[in-house]
Structure 1
Amino acid sequence: MSTLKPEVSAKDHVEGGKSASIEIVEFGDYQCPYCGDAFPLIQEIQDTFGDQIKFVFRNFPLQEVHQYALSAALAAEAAALQGKFWEMHDALYENQHRIGDDLFIELAKTIGLDLDKFKKDAVSVEIQQRIDDDFESGIRSGVNGTPSFYVNGTKFDGDASNLYQMLKESTA
């Protein structure tokens, strides 16, 4: 059974209950259609379980398959430096059908980012390293595709709908 390496830390992007008993980590790619399909289910899981779960997102851009995966991850991380990671994360998935270079600036404007800072940050070594660290974490954790989910540190064998079903059964 694959385990999450490294464990969730303060440098991760976290939503939900900080001391929740259920921790879900998703390794995702903003251009992956399966991640796009999982997105509304993850939102539903978050709405249903609220502070009972802690949700963490780590970047795993599949650059060989998805032309804009890395650019999208860079956009999300640049938004994070302005405190708007989750707004950009959500906007990227909500607009996945039209992902491309023009979209990133448009979304940055929409969510109210300082555009000069956003453009500068999106090409910074620091942001690239953050994505590389997430990707390396995925490799070390046994990720072999996106989305990949880890529940309380252990790889979950299934998709977002299986995850939702398991959570409903385990918290019933």
Structure 2
Amino acid sequence: MASSREPNCLTLPVSDRDHCQGSSIAKVTLVEYGDYQCPHCWAAQQIIPLIQQQLGEQIRFVFRHFPRSSLHPEAYHAAEAAEAAASQSKFWEMHSYLFHHQAQLADSDLVRYAIALCLNVDQFLAEMTSDCHMARVQEDIKSGIQSSVIKTPTFFINGIKHGDDDRLETLLEAVVKAERNC
């Protein structure tokens, strides 16, 4: 019997569990599996706002965690920090902070960022020390592996994996093409 999973397709559909920017009825959904210490993911963060600006209400951007701990030892804890900020409705603010400070992601740095974002630091620390967001990060990683993610960043445009082309300028072209084809 053939597998119901198609190669290079997003296996976990975008839902309310995801961190999204943009409308759920946008023509194009761009999903990124990323790592807060990955320099290529930092470069991608420079192009995402340009794509959002160009497509406006026609695009929804989704970020999922895919920390590559063997390469980036602080990335996993940074992902948990983003989730701890999300529990206080500040995911995107922490997301931005983590990328802008990706060379400084030690635990003490994460606490400084929580303070800078005016988070409830006691709650943030309690969540970070209890690993209560580990399951969420693991779910993202598992869905990435099931979707054939092997490196960061990896993008999916309307559920289809964007090629392994590392040139991020091709991403804009692919997203615009997807929007025109809808």
TM range (shorter): over 0.9
Q: Any stretches of 5+ residues in structure 2 without a counterpart?
A: 1-6
Give the CA deviation at 1:169: 4.7
Larger radius of gyration: 2
Shift of 1:99: 2.9
Which residue number in structure 2 is paired with residue 50 of structure 1? 56
Change (3 A) 1:91 1:132: same
Gaps of 5+ in 1: none
TM-score (norm 2): 0.89
Matched letter for residue 59 of structure 1:
H
Amino acid corresponding to residue 106 of structure 2 in structure 1: G
Identity across aligned pairs (percent)? Answer: 40
Contact 1:76-1:88 within 8 A present in 2 as well: yes
- 2:107 aligned with 1:96: no
> Which residue number corresponds to residue 166 of structure 1?
174
1:164 counterpart letter in structure 2 = L
Aligned in 2, Cα 1:21/1:114: closer, same or farther, shift over 3 Å?
same
1:95 Cα deviation from its structure 2 partner: 1.5
Q: How many residues align?
A: 172
**22-31 vs 159-168, greater mean Cα deviation:** 159-168
Note if 1:111 corresponds to 2:117. Answer: yes
Please say if residues 17 and 50 of structure 1, whose CA atoms lie closer than 8 Å, have aligned partners that are also in contact: no
Higher helix share: 1
- In structure 1, give the amino acid aligned to 2:80: L
Task: Classify the secondary structure of the residue corresponding to 2:134.
Answer: helix
Give a deviation string over 1:22-51, Cα, whole Å, max 9, x none: 000000000011101111111221222222
TM value normalised by structure 1:
0.93
For the 8 Å contact 2:28–2:179, the answer to whether it is kept is: no
Partner Cα separation in structure 2 for residue 143 and residue 83 of structure 1: 28
Q: Which amino acid aligns with 1:28?
A: G
Q: CA deviation at 1:91?
A: 0.9
2:66 to 36, 60, 73: 60
Give 2:3's aligned residue. Answer: none
Asked whether the 8 Å contact 1:75–1:122 carries over to 2, the reply is: yes
Whole-angstrom CA distance in 1 between matches of 2:22 and 2:130: 29
Q: Is 1:30 paired with 2:60?
A: no
Deviation of 1:121 after TM superposition, in Å, equals 1.2
Give the conservation status (yes or no) of the 8 Å contact 1:74–1:123. no
Which residue does the alignment assign to 2:161? 155
- The 8 Å contact of residues 32 and 64 in structure 2, kept in 1 or not, is answered as yes
1:76 to 82, 89, 114: 82
Where do residues 120-135 of structure 1 align in structure 2 (5 Å cutoff)?
120-135=126-141
